[in-house]
Structures are given as C-alpha cells and as structure tokens.
C-alpha cells in the first residue's frame, strides 16, 4: 500500500478519534455539572456526630448506640449510620452504597475523624460510623455554562469532520492543481516546465508523479531539441551538394562541350546525396525503434573479425595497418545487420582518422556477463569538450574538418548499441588517438 493511502487512513482515523474525544469530554463535563454532591456529609457537624456516636459505642456498647441512634434519627434530618463489617446497619436501615464506599475510602486514606470513624468494640467487632445528607431536593447546580444539548454534540462532530475534510481536500488538490498547470504548460510547448519545486517536501505518490512528469518533460525537451538540431544539420549538409549540382547543371548549359564532366559531377553529388539520405533514414529508424528485427544469436568476435579483414585491406591501401585480436567466442543476442553496421562504422572511423604508418587495434574479450569490443586508433584524438559530442549526428569536430563523411557513423553506432541494451563510450587513448569501447550483454 502506498504512502498516500496511509496519510488518508491515519487522517480519517485521527479525525474520528478527535471527534470522539471532544464529544466524550463534553459528555463528561455535562455529567459532572449535572451530578449532585456526594451523599457523604462533611463539615464540623458531621464530625461532631460521628465523635458522639463513637463515644457512645465505646463506653455503652452496641445497645447504647442503637438507642442513641433511634433517638437522634427521630429528632434530626441527618442520618447517622453504624455499619458492621458485612455492611449492615445496626438499625436495619438500607445503607446508601455511594456513601458507604466514600466513608470506607475516607477512613482507608488515613483521614479518620474527618466525617467517618472506624471503631472497634470491646468484643472485637468493628463498626464504621458516618453521616449522610438528608433526603430531599438536590442543591442548586454549580455555577458554570448551561448544559449541553444533544444536538450540540452533533454540531461538534460535524464541525470536526468539516474542518478535517477541508484540510484534506486542500492537501490533496493543491499539488494536483500544480500538476494540471504543468501539463497545460507542456501541452503549450513550454517543455522547460518543472513541477518538483512546487511540491515542497512531500514524500508520497503525488510527489513521485511530479518527479515522473519532470523526467518526462526533460526527455521530451531533449528529443525535440535533438530533432530540431538534426533538421538544421540535415538542411546544412544538403545545401553543399545541391549547390554543386546546380553549378554543374549551369556549367553544362553554358558550355555544351563540357557536358560529360558535368554529368560525372552530377552523378557523384547524387550518389553523395543518396548515401547521406540513407544514413539519415537509418538514424531516424533507430531513434524511433523501428529498425530492429527479431534477435538472434550472434558471435561478436566472428562478426568483428570479418569487418576487420575488410577494413585491413582498405587501411593497407591507404598506408595504414589494422591488428585484430579476440579471446574466444563472444555470443550476444541481437540483430546481426545492426551490429555489423555499428561495429563497421566504429572500425572504419578509426581507419579514417589514424595517422599514416600507424596501426588500428581491434580487440574482443568477454567477462562473466558481457562481451566488449575495443577499437583504438593513433589519430589526433578529440578534446575533452568534444568527447560528449562525438555521438551527436553530423558532429565531426576539429579533426574531421576536410575529412570525407557526414558525421553520422558514430551516431548510428550509438543508437544501434542502445537498441541492444549495451553501452558505447569514447575516450582519448593514453598514447594518443581515440579509443571507442562497445559493451554488450552475453547471450
């Protein structure tokens, strides 16, 4: 059960307990005001009466006390009781239980002689002597507020429940209003909106929902920014070959004798455009998640060995070398075509940027849970600020200026590896150059 459930549960429970406590206190106060004084009489007259009864019992015995009590009862309204250990009065009268209990409590508390006396006769019998108030109308109630009517108890309960309901409604609706405002702002295109600062110090499901919204808004903001940047980069990259196409067409029209060279230029630029559009479409499919096919078992070492063999042929033709090393098989689950394209882009990128008369290192090794492929070139490397951008579409950095390509190879490789649950990292190699490591979970 969630934290919000316990907040509501405990809140309702406290509201009921508070209402019951307030009502019970009011009933107790009402009962206390309505209750009359205790039946046990006090004051100097009562003490004198018990002292006289005690003296009569001590010196004259039980019969003398019985005769004296009959005489006093006939002349005075106050009732003097002499009760034995069994709770029976010596005159056979009914003993008020409340007065008897109060007298016993008074004697046991050590206040013997303050309106109640316990006397032991010469024969060893014990009698409790005390005085009760005379029957008749109760004394007027104590001064104070008027008694509480039953309907006032209902009002107290309703007021308590209303106060708690208002507090609970405010506590729950305030963050919900903030969430509505944030959703409206995001729907209006203000993806920089964040709702967590408005949640304060809440630690419940509503606060978790606010944090989830912030993560969603941040991801949407990144995606929209990436799409805008991609659109800008594509437009920029298309402008140059289109300009060259227009120039070749214009030259062919002005100088018909040079139609053949112009057609070759047009064909070359059209091929570049076709290749770039294919790369952009591949990147778009990877980002949308529609490029992956059902996964199959692929040996990363075998795949990398085939790519390294083809790349070595191209590298040697350009005055460079390539060395491949693998430590056993490296089985992974994935799309063979996508993995082939990702690894090939990384290896060909290293061959392209490594200096002449240097060698590119391609190593495959496995651990208990993953397979890794490391490609190290001996080129100029990249600056620390550029390391975080090498996987951005169309980013080529300072070392890529004047180098053939569109800056999409590493971007496609990263999306392909991400689609397989792996990671790809770039770092400057200790001896110079760029080191790219791909890590994939083992099958």
Cβ-based neighbours of 136, under 8 Å, separated by 6 or more: 77
d(CA 6, CA 10): 6
Both tokens of 117, joined, read 């006396």
Quickly tell me which residue has 């007027």 as its tokens.
140
Catalytic residue list contains 325: no
The whole-angstrom separation of Cα 437 and Cα 320 is 21
From the list 15, 307, 370, 331, the residue with the least C-alpha distance to 162 is: 15
Select which of 236, 325, 340, 420 is catalytic.
Answer: 236
Q: Which two tokens stand for residue 386?
A: 């550029």
Q: Are 103 and 61 contacting, i.e. CB atoms less than 8 angstroms apart?
A: no
What tokens were used for 401?
A: 């200026």
DSSP β-bridge partners for residue 332: 298, 442
- Rounded Cα–Cα distance for residues 229 and 238 (Å): 14
Residues 374, 364: Cα–Cα separation, whole Å? 7
| C-alpha distances out from residue 8 to 15, 22, 62, 205, 307, Å | 10, 21, 70, 12, 62
The helix (run of H) or strand (run of E) holding residue 216 is helix 205-254
DSSP H or E run through 324: strand 321-326
Closest CA to 394 of 217, 163, 233: 233
Which of 235, 220, 217, 35 shows the shortest CA–CA distance to 139? 35
Q: Kindly report the length of the chain.
A: 443
Burial class (CB in 10 A: 0-12, 13-18, 19+), 418: middle
Tokens of 50: 């018990």
- Alpha carbon distance 65, 431 (integer Å): 122
Active site amino acids:
236
């Amino acid at each position: 059960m969630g934290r919000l459930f316990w907040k509501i549960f405990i809140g309702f429970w406290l509201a009921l307990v508070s209402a019951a406590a307030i009502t019970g206190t009011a009933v107790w106060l009402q009962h206390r005001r309505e209750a009359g004084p205790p039946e046990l009489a006090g004051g100097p007259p009562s003490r004198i009466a018990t002292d006289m009864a005690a003296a009569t019992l001590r010196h004259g015995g039980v019969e003398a006390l019985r005769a004296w009590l009959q005489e006093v009862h006939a002349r005075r309204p106050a009732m003097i009781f002499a009760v034995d250990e069994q709770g029976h009065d010596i005159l056979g009268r009914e003993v008020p239980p409340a007065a008897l209990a109060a007298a016993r409590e008074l004697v046991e508390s050590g206040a013997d002689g303050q309106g109640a006396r316990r006397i032991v006769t010469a024969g060893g019998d014990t009698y409790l002597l005390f005085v009760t108030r005379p029957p008749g109308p109760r004394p007027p109630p104590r001064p104070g507020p008027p008694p509480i009517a039953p309907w006032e108890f209902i009002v107290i309960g309703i007021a308590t429940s209303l106060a708690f309901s208002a507090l609970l409604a405010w506590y729950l609706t305030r963050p919900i209003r903030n969430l509505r405002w944030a959703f409206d702002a995001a729907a209006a295109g203000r993806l920089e909106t964040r709702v967590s600062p408005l949640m304060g110090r809440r630690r419940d499901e509503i606060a978790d929902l606010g944090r989830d919204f912030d993560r969603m808004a941040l991801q949407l903001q990144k995606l929209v920014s990436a799409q805008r940047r991609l659109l800008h980069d594509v437009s920029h990259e298309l402008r140059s070959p289109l300009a060259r196409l227009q120039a070749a067409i214009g030259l062919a029209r002005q100088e018909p004798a040079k139609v053949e060279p112009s057609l070759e230029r047009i064909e070359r630029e059209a091929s570049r455009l076709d290749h770039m559009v294919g790369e952009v479409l591949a990147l778009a499919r990877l980002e949308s998640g529609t490029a992956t096919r059902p996964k199959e078992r692929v040996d990363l070492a075998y795949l990398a060995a085939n790519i390294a063999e083809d790349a070595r042929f191209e590298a040697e033709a350009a005055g460079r070398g390539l060395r491949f090393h693998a430590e056993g098989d490296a089985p992974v689950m994935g799309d063979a075509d996508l993995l082939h394209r990702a690894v090939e882009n990384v290896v060909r990128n290293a061959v392209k940027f490594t200096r002449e008369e240097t060698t590119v290192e391609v190593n495959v090794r496995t651990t208990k849970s993953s397979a890794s492929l490391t490609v190290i070139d001996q080129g100029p490397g990249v600056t620390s600020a550029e390391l975080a951008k090498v996987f951005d579409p169309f980013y080529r950095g300072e070392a890529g200026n004047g180098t053939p390509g569109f800056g999409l190879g590493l971007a496609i490789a990263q999306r392909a590896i991400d689609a397989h649950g792996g990671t790809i990292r770039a770092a400057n190699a200790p001896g110079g150059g760029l080191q790219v490591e791909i890590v994939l979970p083992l099958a």
